[in-house]
Structure 1
């Protein structure tokens, strides 16, 4: 009866505080993919959760540890690892113990590698170089160092090298169609055709120059001819009377 109570207490603790070391970690802020300041995401080192001897631990203690690892993997949004742990939790106690002793680190390493690969999407040159270095190393320590520190350091360099956005130039205002009070508007020159409009409408100027001389000459000739005709006619009348 006592062992059942003990198992129940351990299971309750597993679900209430599944990943206490992860919750205790605090990190400064960092930059995200858009170069915005955000809180850093801290990945849990699952090795620190293993505080029991896997060979001598009871089945209840093994199950508690497996639930802690599952909670940490889900909190870190890791692929592969949560499904692998849950599959062993649904199996026998011996399979679960063997998985924790031999295979959990392999599944965790695969999950970390995939997570590092995901950071390459839209990454800058410094992030790509740091990620590739971790992938070439291939160790869990290299993956964890990159995800918790190296990624943010490289991202700061990439964001710092981006050109700063220059303010857009203000468009110049179009000149107003209505002249201001201080603006002197020059009168538009009238066309030559409006000066000699028929009928004299519109207050056109009198015709001058060559056209005026011609009219004056014709008028003088007509006056001269009229005078000559008057004199000749008068002489004829005088002769007739005499």
Structure 2
């Protein structure tokens, strides 16, 4: 059964998702199905999504859900751990890493406020697995002032994403205005969907340009 089928056939705890999100979910998190994975869900909601991730990812997956609402603690089971805390609190986020080890994948479905989204990303992204995936959903809120966003507002995660395209390609910037850093050397892809941003890491990115083949057949322009 596909993840989307699990969603539309759900009869358990409520799951609040947009149907078009499932293309991105299956595309970026499908690699973890049936594998040992530590999957961090920011925002426990009503507990239904954690159960969906557990069923889809399989028995080797450890789901860690966080929320500021203590009521969410009741959603724990043998595969789902729930911790109560603020997604923008660096000490709390570090406590998750201390307890559960390296996190392989993150889905931020928390407060959707720009300050919180940025704080979580800034602390966690460089600390997740070297081949990890970091997804932020419901980023239509990046255009809403009540969430700290707005088109062109530098606080908006979508505006940050636009600027980070230069960081992704910093190795090729010749005027020194962008300096390659950890993000440049560890990020293999950035993908944007309607309301979703995805960052994918790789432990080694081979950027060496080569010409392979019979050099005598090369056409000079």
Common topology (TM > 0.5): no
Of structures 1 and 2, the larger Rg is shown by 1
Structure (1 or 2) with the greater helix fraction? 1
Structure (1 or 2) with the greater strand fraction? 2
What is the TM-score with the length of structure 1 in the denominator?
Answer: 0.23
What is the TM-score with the length of structure 2 in the denominator?
Answer: 0.25
